[in-house]
Amino acid sequence: MIKIKFRAFDKVERKWVKPKGNGISFPYAISPSKPRDERLALFGIPNKDYERIVWMQSTGLLDKNEKEIWGGDIVKHKDGRVEQVLFVFNSFKGLYIDSDTLLEVIGNIYDNPELVEE
């Protein structure tokens, strides 16, 4: 069974939100069937603050350095192209990967917005 993993970024405080509780690692693997209130509670986020949180899902893939690739990450191709990993309507868009693709995560859109051209 594949674990669906999420991480959370607070747009107002401009920081990553770590899960609360004993023994929960970041990012926390959660079931998409859990209610929104329960997911927010895992991260210690009040329900009223839901709109300020950006949720990013893991692609389940690793880059050439075996770093996990997430929606919102900025990756560099072996040919030098740089692009953002996008998650749209339950699928990742803008990223083609085959057996010859070597990607490197070089940042993400929240910590390194300057890496993405407008």
Q: What is the CATH number of the domain that holds 46?
A: 2.30.30.290
Could you tell me if residue 107 is inside a domain? yes
Beta strands in the chain (DSSP E): 6-10, 15-17, 53-62, 68-70, 73-77, 82-84, 86-88, 91-93, 103-108
Burial annotation 29-39 (CB, 10 A radius, 16+ → b, else e): ebeeeeeeeeb
Is residue 1 assigned to a domain?
Answer: no
- pTM for the model: 0.75
pLDDT tens-digit profile of 67-117? 988 888 999 988 888 888 876 545 556 565 655 568 899 999 999 989 986
Q: Which domain holds residue 35?
A: 6-115
Structural domain tally of the chain? 1
- 110 falls within a domain: yes
d(CA 105, CA 95): 13
